[in-house]
Amino acid sequence: MMTKNPYAVKALEKDSMYFAAEKIISFQRPDSADIKVKKSFLRAFRKGRFYKSNAQGRADSIAFNETDGVLHMYTDPILWSNGKQVTGDKVEAYFNTQNENIDSLKVIGNAFAISKVDSLNLKDEFNQVKGKLMTVYYGPDNNIKEAKVIGNAQAISYSDDENKQTGEKERVGISLTSCGIIDAVFEEKLLYVVECNIGAASDTYPMSMIEPEKRKFPDFNWNTKDRILKWQDILVDTPNYEEIKYESDNTLYDKAQEAVAKEKAKEEAKKPKRTRR
């Protein structure tokens, strides 16, 4: 057991995992199916953090079953993976013990996944999917590829139209989707809702018609201040990076509102005016 500024390193064949917390316990326990086999465990209590090359996270406490490749994150968990952020009441990460990469995530309670539409610019544009329960699947390139959401499932996704001749993409609008179950696929910079079942409702709005405050869910929180970018970041409670400031492009919406206001003014001008006698 380590209790003074502790951190631990789990050396894997192809990568390493770094853990830090106020208290860390590492131990082995006989397998219930075969007492001759010992399983390795690690517990990180209070302000737990971990770093791996393709996944980083923090939570109040973290439990890692190294033998079976299962990592549990309890109380305010947040996991980052190649430009995507996942939060919930509890997060479970399942590793492929052969290639040591994450296969899937199970998010229990207030599940929320966010991805930046384009990580190369500072536009305030984020694809979002949320619900009560979420299972996230990784692709062979170690990127999040699919999210299946059950219970009060909702999604906000940006839609583009590609010119087949030039390959240039033009923003079509934003889709707002809600239903009992959502199956969404992350592909390049976009989020596609491929299946929406039980009380399905989905609408796509042009950028001129969608209010800026409706482009994010009320509990949206893209955390760049606490994100772990290198393994040394786990040695402090938070790296406390400067928050990235994103720019909202409301040009089309503002122009549309100006046009609506002008039309209203014209209609008001046509109405007969009352005069006092």
Task: Using alpha carbons, list the distances in angstroms from residue 8 to 72, 75, 85, 231.
Answer: 16, 21, 24, 11
Q: Would you give the DSSP letter of residue 2?
A: B
For 199, left (φ over 0), alpha (ψ -120 to 50), or beta? left
| Closest alpha carbon to 57 in 219, 225, 223, 227 | 227
pLDDT of residue 260: 57
Tokens of 161: 């139209």
Are 91 and 111 in contact by the 8 Å Cβ rule? The answer is no
Task: Provide DSSP, 67-99.
Answer: TTTEEEEESS-EEEETTEEEE-SEEEEEE-TTT
What pLDDT score was predicted for residue 172? 82
Structure tokens at 158: 């940006």
Listed residue (70, 109, 104) closest to 89, CA to CA:
109
| Domains in the chain, CATH or no CATH each | 7-251 (2.60.450.10)
Mean pLDDT of successive 10-residue stretches along the chain, which has 277 residues? 74 86 88 75 93 93 90 97 94 88 95 90 90 94 91 91 76 90 85 83 85 91 95 92 83 57 66 65
pLDDT value for 250: 65
Q: Write down the pLDDT at residue 135.
A: 97
